[in-house]
Structure 1
Amino acid sequence: MSRPHGEAPPSIQGRVIAAMRERIISGSLDAGALLSEVAIAEEFGVSRTPVREALKQLQTEGLVEIRPRVGTFVTSPSRREITELFEMKELLEGAAARLLAQRGRVPEIDELLLNLEDANEAVARDNRRWYAALVQEFHQLLIRGADNSKLEAHYRTLMNQLAYPRLVTTSLSQPGRPLQSDQEHHLVLQLIMAKDGDSAERVMREHVRASRRALFAGLHHDHQHGAQAH
């Protein structure tokens, strides 16, 4: 595919950053995994220098941890870090719900309504993977609908550091959580459409807290299950 005239091709370093970032955020690279500069350089057909620079950039984004003379690892957020990140998520998404409620019938409202139609079907079919993707879309539409570029930039950084797709799958593994989550999304959108910014913000924040509780219950279960497997 040809690029628009005047648009520079992505740098080698940029390509490595984008690919590695996607693997970490999607969960295809496990938390705590050791990353080999040599293997990455070979895979992308580049020298180790752009790989090393790419990993430094990913460290500033909070996605990898470089331990001198030991190696580079996919960040494995502690319970405290997840709690702190979710507290920020709660603030940002609550603010986004309030801001969207003040905007009236913008295109994102209709996109959110379509999202919830699909979500109802995904829950009815017990299709967790589909529903997890719709949850991410719902939250992204909410943030976009707030129409605040600073809020959106902070949110994107936060989601990357959380490696959110992996966490949302864990929280939705809890019995009854997909249906409960779907109902919470419906209530948030009702309040947004009613232009009740105060209630929309409060309910959105309650929803994020409920997600965090389900996540920690899932992580506790995974930890126990893993301990029994050893």
Structure 2
Amino acid sequence: MTAIELKHIIKSFKTPTSNVEVLKDVNFSADSGSLSLVLGPSGSGKSTFLTIAGGIQTPTDGVVQTAGKNLEQLSGKARDALRLDNIGFVLQSYNLVPYLTVGEQFKLVDKIKPKGNLSHEALEGILEDLGIANLVNQYPASLSGGQTQRVAIARALYPDPAIILADEPTAALDSPRVAIVGQLLADLAHKRNKAIVVVTHDLRLEKFADRKFTLLDGRLKEGAPEYAA
């Protein structure tokens, strides 16, 4: 089943001197049960692509269908509800609440979304897999970049979303941790029928992907990149 579909997406931003087109006639789809990797260098439009797919940004032109809904036809409140119920985001900013411990980050999710989250046992398993089970009493300020990144991944997975959108989820991780995260995402896609889309320049994730795309200068094509990473 198609979980995300982008049709003829254009995204442009006006500056005082020009009109910058960040995405140029982008077409993309991701199915449930698959891990899609969108590879591209910095400045290629990856973050813009991901936030449009998740309804955080709106395109200048084109159609976005996420979880079976045309986002343009939804009110702001309905779009927020769709994201809450269906999409897990792993963003580069991490968005951890600084005054909450790691464990309390998940309790906050319970308050915002009381039903449908992972069981305590399933969450513990993810924390163990990611090597952060011993950090539940730590505050974000005391974590390394790699630890913060792994906490952000776990928090995105905890609501058990049908769609997971991740922006550079392995940027701060060494190769063994990249392998753990890559395998975890692949297992979630294949065993739990999730649609997972990762935008990254990290070629170490290629072997875990079902489909690979290249985004370069705002244009998307299917296939591994030909540029030097």
TM-score range for the pair, normalised by the shorter chain length: under 0.3
Whose Rg is larger? 1
Q: Which has the higher strand share?
A: 2
TM-score by length of 2: 0.28
TM-score by length of 1: 0.28
